[in-house]
Amino acid sequence: MPDNGRVLIVTGASSGIGAALARAAAGAGYRVAIVARRAERLEEVARAIRDGGGAVVSVVGDVTADDMPARIVSTTLGSFGRIDAVVNNAGSGAFGALLEQTDAAIEAQWRLHVVAPLKLSRAALPHLEAVRGQLVFLGSGIARVPLPNYGAYALAKAAIRAAATQLRRELRDRGVAVKYVDPGLVATEFHKAMGIERASEVPAASPDAVARAILRGIARRSAVVNAVPLHTGVAVLGEWCAMLADPFIISRLSPRRAASPPPVTLSGAEGRQPPPVTLSAVEGRQAPTSFEAALAPVARRMERIKLPAQVLRNALVPGATVELNALAMQWAGMPNKNERAALREALDALAAAGYLEPLGDETWKVTRGADT
Catalytic residues: 153
Residues 264-303, buried b or exposed e (16+ Cβ, 10 A)?
beeeeeeeeeeeeeeeeeeeeebebbbbbbbbbbbbebbe
Q: Which helix (H) or strand (E) holds 211?
A: helix 207-220
Contact, 163 vs 135, CB < 8 A?
A: no
The Cα 278–Cα 286 span in angstroms is 6
10 Å CB burial of residue 52 (0-12, 13-18, 19+) is exposed
Q: What is the DSSP letter of 272?
A: P
As to burial, measured by CB atoms within 10 angstroms (0-12 exposed, 13-18 middle, 19+ buried), residue 249 is: middle
Cβ pair 93, 150 in contact under 8 A: yes
Nearest Cα neighbor of 186 from 220, 156, 221, 141 is 141
Q: Are 315 and 295 in contact (CB under 8 A)?
A: no
Question: Which amino acid does the sequence have at 68?
Answer: M
- Contact indicator for 221, 134 with CB cutoff of 8 Å: yes
- The torsion defined by the Cα of 23, 25, 31 and 33, in degrees rounded to 10, comes to -60
| Phi/psi of residue 174, nearest 5 degrees | -100, 5
Q: Could you tell me the strand order of the sheet in which 31-36 lies?
A: 56-60, 31-36, 7-11, 85-88, 134-138, 177-182, 224-226
Of the CA atoms within 13 Å of residue 96, those in its CB half-sphere come to 20
